[in-house]
């Protein structure tokens, strides 16, 4: 995960990782809504994202 960039959906705040941002947000379906997260912001957002992932695991299986 270290080599990947972190992307945040400007619409709903969903976090994704990768060299490029997802074209479409799987949460709100907005196109090209992802913006790159600065490195100094990554740590706090990552912590929030972990909490969010745990919450989602209860709802549905992770398809990654
Ligand atoms: Zn979104």
What is the model's pLDDT at position 8?
Answer: 96
What is the model's pLDDT at position 4?
Answer: 85
pTM for this entry: 0.66
Q: Which domains, ranges and CATH numbers included, belong to the chain?
A: 5-59 (2.20.28)
Query: What is the rounded CA–CA span in Å between residue 46 and residue 54?
Result: 12
Q: Quickly count: other Cβ atoms within 10 Å of residue 17's Cβ.
A: 18
What is the model's pLDDT at position 62?
Answer: 62
Percent helix, strand and coil across the chain, each to the nearest 5: 35, 20, 45
CA distances in angstroms from 18 to 59, 62, 63, listed in the order given:
24, 17, 16
Ligand 1 center from residue 2 Cα (angstroms): 23
Please say if the pLDDT value at position 47 is more than 90.
no
Ligand 1 center from residue 3 Cα (angstroms): 23
What is the model's pLDDT at position 61?
Answer: 65
Ligand 1 center from residue 46 Cα (angstroms): 16
> First CA to last CA across the chain, in angstroms?
14
Ion ligand 1: protein residues whose beta carbon lies under 5 Å: 9, 11-12, 14, 25, 27-28
What is the model's pLDDT at position 2?
Answer: 57
**9-45 pLDDT tens trace:** 999 999 999 999 999 999 999 999 999 999 888 888 8
């Amino acid at each position: 995960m270290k080599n990947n960039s972190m992307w945040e959906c400007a619409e709903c705040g969903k976090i994704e990782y990768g060299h490029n941002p997802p074209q479409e947000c799987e949460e709100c379906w907005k196109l090209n809504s992802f913006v790159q997260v600065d490195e100094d912001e990554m740590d706090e957002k990552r912590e929030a994202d972990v909490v969010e992932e745990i919450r989602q695991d209860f709802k549905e299986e992770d398809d990654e």
